[in-house]
Amino acid sequence: MTAAAEDRSLKGAVDVLRRNNVTVSGNPSGPVVMFAHGFGCSQETWNLVAPRFEADHCVVVFDHVGSGRSDWSMYDRGKYSALDGYARDVEEILATLEAEDVVFVGHSVSAMIGVLAADLNPGRYRGLVLVSPSPRYINDDGYVGGFEPADIDALLDSLDANYLGWSRQTAPMIMGTPERPMLEERLTDGFCSVDPEIARHFARVTFTSDNRRDLESVRVPTLVLQCREDAIAPMDVGRYVHAAIPGSRFEILETTGHVPILSAPDDVALHLRRFLS
């Protein structure tokens, strides 16, 4: 990113950067790597991976609207009722930063958000890294996503059970500051904080999404990183993504679970560095 672009972004387009709590670090003249978090957390989930690229890259991290320290008042249920709303935000952030030749690294649902963003403006990207991606979580004819529609309802029940006390109506009463409800619903921790209503909506949108058809239109070099025994995005789903994206690479990480960026940051960073060079 040029100094002029940085200057412009400070003046003209603060809104987008503030809306998404965008943090730019590392080498401003280095190639741009953007890290995007998945459902359930915020940019902090990249804490063990992103800083390793600051020496030679311009590192961009951000929070999706409704997550972390983004501007929650910008949460527009209509816009974010499909993943393309989030993809448009990614494009706006990169356009504001005047970032070109970007490598987009997306975890979980953000992998698909990256696919959609690259479809909006393929020329902006040098590569896509999809960490634990799933284009569709619900099983379909001839496709095993791993879940049934009833499971997604159960997830929403699970969210309800966890956020019972924190509905829009009761939170301000409990915290005793009804005039600043948005602030109080974040509770105290900032990162990984949730607004129950937004979390519920984001969960529904994420886990009922079907972006299988978008995979074949990817024209950007793509790396798929897959864990063993991922209960959310199983191995076969990762292979499906790899097979559907023309010319993509597929790497299996030596870790289990859905969050290799925290459980195996060394491994993720290694593959990422190889891909970047």
Partner 1 sequence: MSVPAVDGWFRLAPCGLIATADDSTILEANDTFLAWSGYDRAGLLGRPLVALLDPGSRLFFETRHRQVLHLRGAVHEVALTIRRADGAELPVLLNAVRDSDGVVRFAIFNATDRVRYERDLLAARRAAEQSEQRVRVLQEVSTMFGVSATDAELAQSFADVARDAFSARETAVLLTRDDGQLQLTGGSNPLEGKVAPVRELRQTAEVTVVHDDDTEYSELSAAMRDEGIGSLSVTPLIADGERLGVLVCFFAGHAEVDDHFLDLQQALGRQASQTLVRVRLQRRLALLALHDQLTGVANRQLLQVSLDDALTLAATSLEPLAVLFLDVDDFKGINDAFGHAAGDSVLVELASRLRGGVRAGDIVGRMGGDEFVALCPGADPSAAETIAQRILEVCREPIAVADGVVTASVSVGISLFQPGSDPQPTAQHLLVRADVAMYDAKRAGKDRAQLSTP
Q: List residues near partner 1 by CB under 8 A.
A: 38-41, 44-45, 47, 77-79, 81-82, 84-85, 108, 137, 147-148, 151-162, 164, 167, 169, 189, 191-192, 201, 203, 205, 207-209, 229, 231-232, 255-259, 262-263
Q: Which is nearer to partner 1, 187 or 276 (CB)?
A: 187
Q: Which residue has the tokens 């280095």?
A: 30
Q: Minimum distance between the CB of residue 24 and partner 1, rounded to whole angstroms?
A: 21
Q: Minimum distance between the CB of residue 85 and partner 1, rounded to whole angstroms?
A: 7
Cα dist. 24→53, 91, 108, 118, 208 in Å? 12, 16, 22, 20, 32
Q: Are 223 and 115 in contact (CB under 8 A)?
A: no
State yes or no: is 70 an active-site residue.
no
State yes or no: is 37 an active-site residue.
no
Q: Minimum distance between the CB of residue 7 and partner 1, rounded to whole angstroms?
A: 33
Q: Which is nearer to partner 1, 9 or 21 (CB)?
A: 21
State yes or no: is 101 an active-site residue.
no
Cα–Cα–Cα angle for 229, 231, 234, rounded to 5 degrees: 65
Q: Minimum distance between the CB of residue 128 and partner 1, rounded to whole angstroms?
A: 20
Angle formed by the axes of helices 196-207 and 149-162, nearest 10°? 170
Catalytic residue among 108, 132, 209, 248: 108
Cβ-based neighbours of 146, under 8 Å, separated by 6 or more: 134, 137, 139, 231, 232, 233, 234, 237
Kindly list the catalytic residues: 108, 230, 258
